[in-house]
Amino acid sequence: MPPRLRTSNLPSSAASSPSIRSQCLFHPIRTSRELSQTSCQQVTARRRKFYEWLNGPGAQLKEPLPGSTNYLGAYDKYGNLVRASPAWQRKSRAELQREKEMKQAEPVVKAEPVKAETEKTEGASEGQEEVDELEMQTRRDEEAKRKETKDDDQQLPPETAEDLRPFPQNRFFRSQPVLSEDLREAIYQRVKRDGATVSLASVEFGVSNERVGAVVRLKQMEKEWIAQGKILAVPYARAVLEMIPVTPFIDTSLPENKGKRPVPHEPINDLIVHPATRQQLFVPVAESRQFTREDAGKAFDNHLLPADDRIPHPELVKAERELAAGLPFEERRRLVEGRLKAEQAKKSKEEARKAAAIASLKTVPQRRWDFVFQDVSVEAVGKKGRDPRGVGWRYGFPHEDRKKGHVKIPTRVDA
Amino acid sequence: MRKKPRYHSLKKLKIRQDWSRWSLYHLSELRPPNTATKTYFQQKWAAKSATRAYHGEVIREKKWKRQFKRSIPAVVPMDFKYLATHDGAEQAAGRGAGADSEDKQRTPLQTPYMQMTYWPIERRLDTAIFRSLFASSVRQARQFVVHGLVKVNGKKMPYPGYLLNPGDMFQVEPESVMFATGAPKVRTSTARRVAKERAAARADARAANPPQIPPSSIKITAPTREEPSPAELKKTLQALMEKVEDALAEDVKAKDKQKLRDFRKTVRSAVSLWKNASPDSVSTLDNQFSFLRTHLSTYMSNAPPPPPVPSTPSDSSLPPADPNSIFSKSDTAKLRAAFDRLKAEADYDSKWNGKDASKPYRTPWRPRDYMSAFAFIPRYLEVNQNICAAVYLRHPVARPGLAEVPTPFHVETGQLAFNWYLRRR
């Protein structure tokens, strides 16, 4: 097949040459010739279908649904929102704009009389009008509120698991809620101001340990940015948090939330499936024997601990056991404090070890970079001389960095 | 050379990792795999081809094959109360131990391991940026990384293939994020003409009187953002608090009083947390209060006039109140204050999200089309949208009934793709 050439780039003689015209001979003769030069009508049909979908059912997905998520899984194939009541109607952008203006109009109205008085023309009547307007506004607001509580035709019910599916074919994936801004702030305050440990904050807010740490770290950085006067991506943040499901923060210290409970964000006691437990195992056990979790762990792997010790919050299990054993409050408290102290000691020991490791390095400060010297031993290569901890070039031991398939980009970045 | 296939083709529907309308259309057209008329090899091939077009299409097949792991991370949520009260022996107990119940245990939810085939790809820096909603496609995320707009743990990381470790924090330039996720700029001939005219006018002005100020001093005087200091914020909040106290001193209706009390509580908590109060929260509190005030004044025009608002600078500049007007002088002053506040708020709004021709995206910023259909943040990431930074908490895991790797395909497709790669192991 000859290369494709654009006719516009060719001189007229070349364009009419038989070698190029011969291409056209393969095409079937079209019944209807239109102005379009498209060689294949099929493509146009596909494109038409695409645009039909885009302007029909797909039009709902173009812009976010205010106050809700807007995923493909929430719509049927005709583009109707499944969970909405039949009377529900999506507001157009113009309507939303108008509503927004209505909301904004209220403070603007308040500002009017000042202007009117400075002009000193019909100040009284206008003021009266403003008052009427204000009253009307409040009445309308209250009416709207009453309407919402009574019949929620225009109010969307909360999303079901189906509605949170961005990929309708994959029923094992759904958009899960993220932490709201208030919740993040509360977690940060709990850890930074009140000095709560990460695990305590994790239990209180129903947020996993790692997430508590991450929230504190990110929030800290946000505060630093504010202090430095850097520009935050506020419009972006607002828009995103309106589009995705969010775990709200319920401050139980407030009187209006007295009976409520904080909404747990995620399961905090996730047990990692150990590779040793992936296999199926048949262990004959006497029926009279008490075969516990611990024994089951041993059957899989000699060093496999039971789930009680491998979950992120083993202290909860211990506390629950003590409670079930009927220990008095003082006793339980003493035990918990002892555990906390042991944990603290372990932590400080670890920190001391790290500090000692850093102190053992000899640092020579320079203008731009510091030289850091670390003591190494030739003996580190081991008896066979193939230990990776060994330094320097060794006979018969090639440098790994020239090997194929080895990652050349960094594998970790220290914080 | 063979012509490169179209990235978004309507002939072969391939879902790509981006927020385009083509991807959305293809998502809506996606069906479970055809297992009836195809051979097993064909099924696997089709599944591999479809999934690889979505997951890491920039990665060469050989590289991905090396990355593929047959072991898939999974977790099981445990109930600590159950663990405390049972030692597990009851599960092993047979009928001899008296376990003779007819009621079957509920079968636990299926753990969708097969939807997790591509979990190593979710570790890549470019994919993680796309998943945290900082870029509109993986290719764009990759470009951000290559262009040096991304930091990992505070250090510039120019490799899109960097595999994030649990606990790594990555951040993208907020301006780039706003550009990637915002609606594109419209370039009309009128706008262009106006811009050209303005530029010409500026050039004329510069030619007429050359600038006296050295550029260094301009840099210092130009503030990046007029953010009130924490001390100022505290002062504002305390002033607000006093106003509320005044309002409460008057006898008002019970319901309104309740509202005011609630409001006072929020203010009080805000004052105690003044360090973290943002100008945003202050302005909303202000609005709330002014609305309540006007609400009160209109409802009880017969009530004694409320005490004047302390330290209102515009009070003296106002003309005397009209006797026929319902608003007393103090009310007018309040209105004036509210107006000032409104103006300030408008200024503030415009500072955050105002018109700015110099930005590469449409201003005021709004999300790009079809973004909401693709907007989700998987659980293995913790994102702070304000600073456009995120932490990779852990590897994505499968748990009963849920797979954390976002993949648009049917579970059967996932299984076929997994089997395709299993073949060579």
Query: Is residue A317 included in any domain, yes or no?
Result: no
Rounded CA-CA distance A27/A18 in Å is 15
Query: Do B97 and A287 count as a contact with CB atoms less than 8 A apart?
Result: yes
Nearest to A73 by CA among A199, A160, A200: A160
pLDDT tens per residue, range A360-394: 899 999 998 889 998 888 888 888 877 878 887 77
> Is the pTM for the entire model greater than 0.80?
no
Q: DSSP letters along B93-143, please?
A: --GGGT----SPPPPPPP--GGGGTTHHHHTBHHHHHHHTTSSSBHHHHHH
Query: How close A324 gets to chain B, by Cα (Å)?
Result: 8
Q: Count other Cβ atoms within 10 Å, centred on residue B40.
A: 10
Greatest Cα pair distance in chain A: 104
Our separate counts of H helices and E strands in chain A read: 13, 5
Please report which helix (H) or strand (E) contains residue A346, including its range. helix A329-359
Query: Is residue B79 included in any domain, yes or no?
Result: no
Query: How close B175 gets to chain A, by Cα (Å)?
Result: 8
- Rounded alpha-carbon distances, angstroms, from residue A142 to A104, A135, A145, A148, A157: 17, 11, 5, 10, 21
pLDDT tens per residue, range B72-104: 999 999 999 999 999 888 887 776 666 666 666
Our separate counts of H helices and E strands in chain B read: 17, 8
Residue A383, judged by CB atoms within 10 A of its CB (0-12, 13-18, 19+), counts as: exposed
Asked if A283 and A299 touch (Cβ cutoff 8 Å), the reply is: yes
Query: Is residue A326 included in any domain, yes or no?
Result: no
Please tell me whether residues A90 and A157 are part of one structural domain. yes
Q: Count other Cβ atoms within 10 Å, centred on residue B187.
A: 9
Of A223, A241, A257, which one is at a domain's C-terminal end? A257
**Which pLDDT band holds residue A208 (cuts at 50, 70, 90)?**
very high
pLDDT beyond 80 at B358: yes
- Rounded alpha-carbon distances, angstroms, from residue A309 to A272, A312, B80: 12, 8, 11
Q: Which residue has the higher pLDDT, B359 or B125?
A: B125
Query: How close A262 gets to chain B, by Cα (Å)?
Result: 18
Asked if B158 and B145 touch (Cβ cutoff 8 Å), the reply is: yes
Query: How close B214 gets to chain A, by Cα (Å)?
Result: 24
Q: Which of B84, B262, B291 sits opposite A320 (nearest CB)?
A: B84
Please report which helix (H) or strand (E) contains residue B77, including its range. strand B75-77
Please tell me whether residues B176 and B197 are part of one structural domain. no
Please tell me whether residues B228 and B282 are part of one structural domain. yes
β-sheet with B155-156: strand ranges across:
B155-156, B150-152, B168-172, B389-392, B381-384
ipTM of this predicted structure = 0.75
Of A141, A164, A187, which one is at a domain's C-terminal end? A164
Looking at the structure of chain B, the number of domains it has is 3
- pLDDT score for B331: 63
pLDDT beyond 60 at A4: no
Query: Is residue B271 included in any domain, yes or no?
Result: yes
Please tell me whether residues B116 and B160 are part of one structural domain. yes
Please tell me whether residues A99 and A193 are part of one structural domain. no
Residue ranges making up the domain that contains A183: 178-257
Query: Do A215 and B382 count as a contact with CB atoms less than 8 A apart?
Result: yes
pLDDT beyond 70 at A309: yes
Rounded CA-CA distance A212/B379 in Å is 13
Which CATH number characterizes residue B57's domain?
3.10.290.10
B157 and chain A: CB distance < 8 Å anywhere? yes
B contact test, residue of A44, A110, A289 with most B CBs within 10 A = A110
B393 and chain A: CB distance < 8 Å anywhere? yes
Tokens coding A311: 């979950």
- pLDDT score for B88: 87
Percent of residues, chain A, with pLDDT higher than 70: 75
Rounded CA-CA distance B376/B133 in Å is 8
Nearest to A359 by CA among A377, A372, A371, A376: A372
Query: Is residue B118 included in any domain, yes or no?
Result: yes
pLDDT beyond 60 at B276: no
- Rounded alpha-carbon distances, angstroms, from residue B246 to A329, B243, B267, B334: 46, 5, 14, 13
Query: Is residue B210 included in any domain, yes or no?
Result: yes
| Interior/surface letters A53-65, b for 16+ CB within 10 angstroms, e for the rest | bbeebbebbbbbb
Please tell me whether residues A83 and A140 are part of one structural domain. yes
Please tell me whether residues B201 and B174 are part of one structural domain. no
If you count residue pairs, one on A and one on B, with CB atoms under 8 Å apart, how many are there?
Answer: 336
Asked if A279 and B85 touch (Cβ cutoff 8 Å), the reply is: no
Of A139, A164, A189, which one is at a domain's C-terminal end? A164
Q: Is A110 helix (H, G, I), strand (E, B) or coil?
A: helix
Asked if A24 and A7 touch (Cβ cutoff 8 Å), the reply is: no
Percent of residues, chain A, with pLDDT higher than 90: 47
Query: Do A124 and B324 count as a contact with CB atoms less than 8 A apart?
Result: yes
Q: Which residues lie closer than 8 Å to A107 by C-beta, 6 or more apart?
A: B287, B290, B291, B338, B339, B342
Q: DSSP letters along B388-417, please?
A: TEEEE-S---EETTEE-S---S-HHHHHHH
A167 and chain B: CB distance < 8 Å anywhere? yes
Please tell me whether residues B61 and B203 are part of one structural domain. no
| Amino acid (1-letter code) at residue A26 | F
Q: Which residue has the higher pLDDT, B201 or A130?
A: B201
A contact test, residue of B382, B388, B391, B393 with most A CBs within 10 A = B382
Please tell me whether residues B327 and B414 are part of one structural domain. no
Half-sphere CA count of A258, side-chain side, radius 13 A: 2
Q: Which residues lie closer than 8 Å to B32 by C-beta, 6 or more apart?
A: A169, B410, B412, B413
Query: Is residue B14 included in any domain, yes or no?
Result: no
Query: Do B322 and A117 count as a contact with CB atoms less than 8 A apart?
Result: yes
Lowest mean pLDDT segment, chosen from A79-83, A185-189, B225-229, B338-342: B225-229
Rounded CA-CA distance B208/B194 in Å is 21
Average pLDDT over residues B271-299: 53
Nearest to A191 by CA among A228, A216, A158, A156: A216
pLDDT beyond 80 at B68: yes
Q: Which of A123, A244, A273 sits opposite B376 (nearest CB)?
A: A244
Query: Do A413 and B152 count as a contact with CB atoms less than 8 A apart?
Result: yes
Asked if B390 and B170 touch (Cβ cutoff 8 Å), the reply is: yes
Residue ranges making up the domain that contains B341: 315-352
Q: Count other Cβ atoms within 10 Å, centred on residue A195.
A: 8
B248 and chain A: CB distance < 8 Å anywhere? no
Asked if B305 and A221 touch (Cβ cutoff 8 Å), the reply is: no
A contact test, residue of B350, B372, B399, B402 with most A CBs within 10 A = B372
pLDDT tens per residue, range B235-260: 766 676 666 666 555 555 565 666 66
Rounded CA-CA distance A146/B381 in Å is 40
pLDDT beyond 70 at A95: yes
Q: Is A141 helix (H, G, I), strand (E, B) or coil?
A: helix
* A residues 332-391 lying closer than 8 A (beta carbon) to B: none
Length of chain A: 415
- pLDDT score for B289: 55
Query: Is residue A79 included in any domain, yes or no?
Result: yes
Average pLDDT over residues A22-31: 44
Asked if A19 and A30 touch (Cβ cutoff 8 Å), the reply is: no
Query: Is residue A286 included in any domain, yes or no?
Result: no
Rounded CA-CA distance A78/A81 in Å is 9
Rounded CA-CA distance B200/A332 in Å is 79
**Which pLDDT band holds residue A3 (cuts at 50, 70, 90)?**
very low
Average pLDDT over residues A186-196: 93
Whole-number mean pLDDT of chain B? 78
B contact test, residue of A43, A159, A236, A252 with most B CBs within 10 A = A236
- pLDDT score for B321: 37
Q: Is B22 helix (H, G, I), strand (E, B) or coil?
A: helix
Rounded CA-CA distance B150/B152 in Å is 7
Please tell me whether residues A211 and A123 are part of one structural domain. no
- Chain A residues lying within 8 Å of B386, measured CB to CB: 222, 225, 232-234, 237
Query: Do A172 and B73 count as a contact with CB atoms less than 8 A apart?
Result: no
Lowest mean pLDDT segment, chosen from A54-63, A188-197, A278-287, B102-111: B102-111
- pLDDT score for A131: 44
Please tell me whether residues A159 and A68 are part of one structural domain. yes
Query: Do A69 and B162 count as a contact with CB atoms less than 8 A apart?
Result: no
Nearest to A56 by CA among A66, A48, A67: A48
- pLDDT score for A14: 39
- pLDDT score for B227: 46
User: Does the CA dihedral A80-A81-A82-A88 come out positive or negative?
Assistant: negative
Percent of residues, chain B, with pLDDT higher than 90: 48
The alpha-helical segments, DSSP class H, found in A56-154 are: 93-119, 123-150
Chain centre to alpha carbon of residue B348: 21
Please tell me whether residues A63 and A158 are part of one structural domain. yes
**Which pLDDT band holds residue A73 (cuts at 50, 70, 90)?**
very high
Query: Do B10 and A50 count as a contact with CB atoms less than 8 A apart?
Result: yes
- Chain A residues lying within 8 Å of B322, measured CB to CB: 117, 123-124, 127
Query: Is residue B120 included in any domain, yes or no?
Result: yes
B183 and chain A: CB distance < 8 Å anywhere? no
Looking at the structure of chain A, the number of domains it has is 2
User: Does the CA dihedral B404-B407-B411-B413 come out positive or negative?
Assistant: negative
Q: Beta partners for A179?
A: A247
Rounded CA-CA distance B406/B409 in Å is 9
User: Does the CA dihedral A240-A241-A242-A243 come out positive or negative?
Assistant: positive
Q: Count other Cβ atoms within 10 Å, centred on residue A225.
A: 17
The position carrying tokens 């209807």 is: A32
Quote the radius of gyration of chain B (alpha carbons, Å): 31
Asked if B138 and B126 touch (Cβ cutoff 8 Å), the reply is: yes
Please tell me whether residues B206 and B237 are part of one structural domain. yes
Whole-number mean pLDDT of chain A? 79
Please tell me whether residues A159 and A213 are part of one structural domain. no
* A residues 83-142 lying closer than 8 A (beta carbon) to B: 106-108, 110-111, 113-114, 117-118, 120, 123-124, 127-128, 131, 134-135, 138
In this structure, what DSSP letter does residue A401 have? Answer: G
Rounded CA-CA distance A145/A184 in Å is 29
* B residues 5-24 lying closer than 8 A (beta carbon) to A: 10-11, 21-22, 24
Rounded CA-CA distance B17/A411 in Å is 25
Please tell me whether residues A80 and A127 are part of one structural domain. yes
Query: Is residue B369 included in any domain, yes or no?
Result: no
B208 and chain A: CB distance < 8 Å anywhere? no
Asked if A50 and A43 touch (Cβ cutoff 8 Å), the reply is: no
Among A145-149, A275-279, B125-129, which range has the highest average pLDDT?
B125-129
Please tell me whether residues B337 and B415 are part of one structural domain. no
